[in-house]
Each structure stands twice: as C-alpha cells, then as structure tokens.
C-alpha cells in the first residue's frame, strides 16, 4: 500500500518568558564628610546673625558644604530615638537640602509627642556636659542628626532666604523710577503697599529683637523716603 501523504504540520511558536528577575547593578551613593572644616553649623549661624555685611554672609553660606543630596534619601523613613550625648555631639560641619530639613523637623516633632522622654540625667553627668536629645537617622550607614542640629539647619535656611529677599527688595528699590509709569487710577500704588509691608516687618523685628533686620529695614525706609 502506498504511504499516506503527510500534510503540513502546524507549528506553535513558544513565547520566551523571563521566570527569574535579573538584578541590575547596585547603586552606590558616596557621602564624604567635610575634612579640615572646624566651624560647625551652630557656630556659623551665630556668626551669620551678628555680621552686618550681608553680601559677605551670603557668600559664606553658599560655600558651606552640602550633604544628603541623593534622591534615594527622600523616600526613606526617619527614625528618631532619645540618646545621652555630649553637648557638642552630632553638631556637624555641613548642611542638608531644605526639603529634607523639613522632613527631619516634622519627624522630630512627632517623636516628641509620641515617645516617652527618658528620666532626667543626674547632676554628675550634667557637670560633665552630657545632655539628652532626640537623634534622627535617615540612613543607618550615614551620620546621625540631633534635634539641635536640625534647629540650626532651619535657622540656616531661614537666614539665607531672608538675605536673598533683602537683595531682591533692594534691587527693586534701586531701579530707575523715572521709567516707571505712574498710577493714575487713584488707588494705592505698589510702592505705598511695599512701604507698609516694610513698616510691618520693622515693627515685628522690634518685638522679636532681630537687630540685623531692624538695621537694614531702617536703611531701606530711609532710601525710599529720599
């Protein structure tokens, strides 16, 4: 008998599927602690608040080392614990970005409310300069930051913002006012509103004891009145 003819065989293609996740290269972040810098943030902030040359102060603040700029740190949870330490511990010679500073500030504020504060240190330890403070940790492999340092960070960014605003205000005041069209609508002009804002800021500075702001605010008002 003749052999039956073999028809076309239907071939089913198999899809290749990845059954095991391939791990990519590990990402490494390098944080180098500033070396050779003896002025910590608290000392720098004290100097900045008592130096009348705002241009020089801003230059020094811009040159101060910045750490913790890596994006991966933004998604990490912040751990806060009470620790006994020397008064100079965890007061670093660098600053961190303002958004991470706000996160640390919020975490420490929450920890103060939720955690039970430890008992007071005895007089012997206090005489040795030992204090109790909350310590925040973003990454266990990186440096710890106490609440006093976070407070200094907040002050650093506030001073820097105030100085930048001062220079912007001064630039506005020193423009060529002959090229500015007058307001004929009869309403309060922008300059009048601005004078009122400066006056309000001056009054607040008097109550808060902010000498540097009072000094420069008075200078601005005297220039504007000429």
Residue 132: pLDDT over 80: yes
Tell me: the pLDDT tens digits for 172-213? 888 888 887 765 554 455 556 666 666 666 556 545 555 555
| 198 touches 220 (CB < 8 A) | yes
Task: Label residue 91 exposed, middle or buried (CB < 10 Å: 0-12, 13-18, 19+).
Answer: middle
- Whole-prediction pTM: 0.66
Average pLDDT over the chain reads 79
* Rounded Cα distance, 80 and 114, in Å: 11
For residue 56 the two structure tokens come to 């020089």
**Hunting for tokens 């976070």 — which residue is that?**
150
Per-position b or e across 23-36, b if 16+ CB within 10 A of its CB? eeeeeeeeeeeeee
∠ CA 143-146-148 to the nearest 5 degrees? 135
- % residues pLDDT > 70 (the chain): 65
Ordered alpha helix ranges (H), 50-92: 54-63
Residue 58: pLDDT over 60: yes
Tell me: the pLDDT tens digits for 63-122? 999 999 988 888 889 999 999 999 889 999 999 999 999 999 999 999 999 988 888 888
CA distances from 47 to 30, 35, 199 (A): 30, 20, 26
Domain residue ranges of the chain, discontinuous segments joined by +: 41-156
């Amino acid at each position: 008998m003749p052999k039956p003819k073999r028809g076309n065989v239907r071939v089913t293609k198999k899809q290749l599927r990845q059954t095991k996740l391939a791990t990519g290269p590990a990402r490494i972040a390098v944080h180098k602690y500033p070396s050779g810098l003896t002025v910590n943030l608290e000392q720098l902030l004290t100097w900045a608040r008592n130096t009348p040359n705002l241009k020089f102060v801003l230059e020094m603040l811009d040159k101060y080392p910045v750490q913790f700029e890596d994006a991966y740190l933004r998604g990490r949870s912040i751990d806060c614990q009470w620790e006994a330490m020397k008064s100079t511990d965890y007061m670093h010679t660098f600053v961190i970005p303002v958004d991470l500073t706000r996160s640390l500030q919020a975490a420490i504020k929450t920890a103060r409310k939720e955690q039970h504060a430890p008992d007071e240190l005895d007089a012997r330890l206090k005489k040795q300069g030992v204090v109790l403070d909350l310590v925040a940790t973003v990454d266990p492999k990186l440096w710890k930051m106490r609440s006093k340092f976070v407070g200094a960070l907040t002050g650093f960014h506030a001073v820097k913002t105030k100085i930048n605003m001062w220079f912007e205000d001064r630039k506005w005041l020193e423009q060529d006012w002959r090229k500015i069209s007058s307001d004929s609508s009869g309403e309060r002009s922008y300059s009048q509103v601005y004078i009122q804002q400066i006056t309000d800021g001056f009054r607040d500075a008097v109550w808060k004891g902010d000498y540097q702001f009072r000094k420069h605010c008075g200078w601005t008002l005297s220039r504007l009145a000429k």
